Every structure is written in structure tokens, then in C-alpha cells.
Chains A and B, each alone.
Chain A
Amino acid sequence: MINATKKWIFLKISGAILIPLMIWFILNLISIYDEDYLNVINFFQNPLSKMLFGIFIINAYFFSALSISEVFEDYVTNDKIKSVANKLLYASAVVIPLITIILISRL
């Protein structure tokens, strides 16, 4: 299987997983965004919320990195710029969710 096919399959699987997670998260975000500190903390301290939020951000960054790299592929002509942009994209897709999960686990 060539890399482009693997990328397409990963994109489709992560996209399908993201749909229920986005619905779950947006409903909960609407219910807590204007709540006081303790209610928001309670949401993130709940083990199920913590786990689902972790899966949601890992999947969302993975899906976005694959999608945005497609945009680079379509519209960026310079190979060096494309390579640097892709490396920054993939690095941020690992670092941001990882730091967030570590910080949330301390709540």
C-alpha cells in the first residue's frame, strides 16, 4: 500500500471517529463555558470527561494535521517551505495535545 493510500485511510478513519466526539464536546462546552470555576473543574476532573476530551483532542489534531498537509500539497509550490510547514504542523499536532493532557491530568 502506498503512503498516499495509507494517509487517505487514516484521514477517513479519524474523520469518522471525530464526528461523535465533536458532538459530545460541543454539547458539553455549551453547558459549561459560562459556568463558575468549580463546575468547569468538576467537568475536567470527571474520569470519563477527561478520557473523552483526551481522545477528542488527539484525534482532532491528528485529523487536522493530515487535512492541512493536503492543503499545503495543493497550494504550496516551494518544496522547502512545504517541508518546514509540514514538520511544524506534525510537531504541533503531537506537542499541543500532549501538554494539554498532562496539565489536565493534574487538575
Chain B
Amino acid sequence: MENKQPLSPHIQIYRWHISSLVSISHRITGIINIIAITLICLWASCLLLGEANYQLINLFLSSLVGKFFILAITWSFSFQVLSEIRHLIMDLGYGYELNTTKISGLLVIFGSVILTIFFYLVGDTFL
């Protein structure tokens, strides 16, 4: 039977707003995060192979590319955390006014950068 259910209109027909940018970024970072978590599962599982095999992964993670990779994951996680909090607040019925959606969207975008720096400093220095 043919599916009569309408699809979401393609995103390119809309004029870009902060909310649409946050919405599509939420989906993209969600997919990036699950790929990153899969790689992390693989990394953790590789520990079973022993110290000699782990050196190869350690060499990559200690390199500049490895550090950039961790920083990118940190930003992606930070974005998802703030965007999820925004979604949950909106689900409770708050923040639907046009100006509020713009402000909360900007808070997610700029907040994710600040949170990335904060997480990196706390994780690297205090733990």
C-alpha cells in the first residue's frame, strides 16, 4: 500500500532562523554523538587486547589530531546537553515567544562553546 503520510518539508525552503539552526544542529550533533559513543565503546573494548595494542590508540589520542577529536566530541556533547535542556523547558510550555526562542537559541550556540572550554579545563585540571 502506498504511504500517504506527508514528509517534513525540505529544510532549504525555509528562511534560516536561530531556532532552525539550533534544531538542525541538535539532530546533527545527536548523530555525531552516537558515532563518537560507538568509537568510545570500541576504544574501551580494545583495552582487552592488552597494553601493547593500546599504545597505538594512545599515540593517536595524544597527537594534535586526537586532541582535536576529543575537543570536537566535547563541543558536540555540550551542544546536545544545552539543546536538550532547552527542549525540555519548551516541553514544559515555556519559552515559545519569538524573542525568547532567539535568546535561548543563542544561549545554546554560544553556551556550548563556553561549556566546552569549562569541561576541558575541569576535566584536564581537576579530575
Contacts and interface: CB of A to CB of B under 8 A. Distances in A.
A16 interface: yes
A96 B41 contact: yes
B27 A71 contact: yes
B126 to A, nearest CB: 8
A22 B88 contact: no
Q: Is the interface of B mostly helix, strand, loop or mixed?
A: helix
Nearest to A31: B127
Contacts of B67: 34
Contacts of A77: 3, 7
Contacts of B47: 37, 40-41, 44, 107
A52 interface: no
A27 B118 CA distance: 10
B118 to A, nearest CB: 10
A44 B119 CA distance: 20
User: Which range holds the interface residue count of chain B?
Assistant: 35 or more
Interface string B28-54: 001101100110110011011001001
Given A19-B84, A27-B123, A79-B3, A68 B31 contact: yes
A74 B7 contact: yes
A26 B119 contact: yes
Q: Which of B40, B55, B124 has the most chain A CB atoms closer than 10 A to its own CB?
A: B40
Interface in A74-94: 74-75, 77, 79
Q: Which of B31, B45, B54 has the most chain A CB atoms closer than 10 A to its own CB?
A: B45
A1 interface: no
Contacts of B40: 29
Interface of B: 3, 7-8, 27, 30-31, 33-34, 37-38, 40-41, 44-45, 47-48, 51, 54-55, 58, 61-62, 66-67, 70, 73-74, 77-78, 80-81, 84-85, 87-88, 91, 119-120, 122-124, 127
